[in-house]
Amino acid sequence: MSKKDKKERPPMPEALPAPAVDAHTHLDACGAKTAEDVRELVDRAHAAGITRVVTVADDIEAANWAAEAATWDDRVFAAVALHPTRAKDFTDADRRVLEELAERPRVVAIGETGLDYYWDFSPPEPQHEAFRWHIDLAKRTGKPLMIHDRDAHEDILRILTEEGSPETVIFHCFSGDAEFARACVDRGYVLSFAGTATFRNANAVGLREAARLVPVEQMLIETDAPFLTPHPFRGRPNEPYCANYTLRDLAELRGADLAELIVATTATAERVFRLDQVAAS
């Protein structure tokens, strides 16, 4: 791939045969600042069949922006939290901001929170403390807990067990193998698959097996844009419309009818995020 290609967005795909939801994206990191920017990104997604998106915060500034952006366009919803890599700087003032934002009707999840042992920006102890606090916030608000789990499978499950899981737990950008997927499914958790599940490298074999076996009632599709652009455009800038490519790839992987997979995963998104209830409020 040339340097020029790496800077270009993937081509617009043919529209999906049914409307889909991007369950986890970062519109601000995709370059959106204003309501017009958001509308442009979401219009592009809509043209590809991705008709609703959840834009997710990873710090307090992003949380404020996401909650506000969700009021600019009816197709946009928000999730708020402090990313685990920033946990060492988590203050009481931050907690108060997140508590206020979490009560807003268009904030549909608490996330992304969890544990990240890949980067060393925050030691484990403050990550654990922050994760436990976000679990409690999800339970207090009755909103889904959206988990970031990087190289931390066992501790994530242990802390969820110790604290008691919220009603709905979503593993964003699920990164485990089939065995870990089964453990999560058995607990009733929802697994969200990003472009990584379409990769063809050796490290993706277990993840693709996980994507093959998860029941559609516990399955979401996401982009995590602008990161993790799906195959065959890995390395290019990602956007919500690229969830179209992931859906097509996973339908083929699962031997499923594309329209049926879209309808099923959209129903899962509508249920866990209560999107119809939010739209009616």
231 is in an annotated binding site: no
46 is in an annotated binding site: no
128 is in an annotated binding site: no
Q: Which residues are CB-contacts of 244 (< 8 A; sequence separation ≥ 6)?
A: 13, 15, 16, 20, 48, 49, 50
Residue 205 has phi, psi (to 5 degrees) of -60, -50
Alpha-carbon distance 251 to 28, whole Å?
A: 29
Of 111, 103, 41, give the one whose Cα is nearest residue 72. 41
Q: Which residues are CB-contacts of 180 (< 8 A; sequence separation ≥ 6)?
A: 153, 210
24 is in an annotated binding site: yes
Alpha-carbon distance 21 to 25, whole Å?
A: 10
Site of tokens 């009603």: 167
Binding-site members for a divalent metal cation are 24, 26, 112, 148, 172, 224
Binding-site members are 24, 26, 112, 148, 172, 224
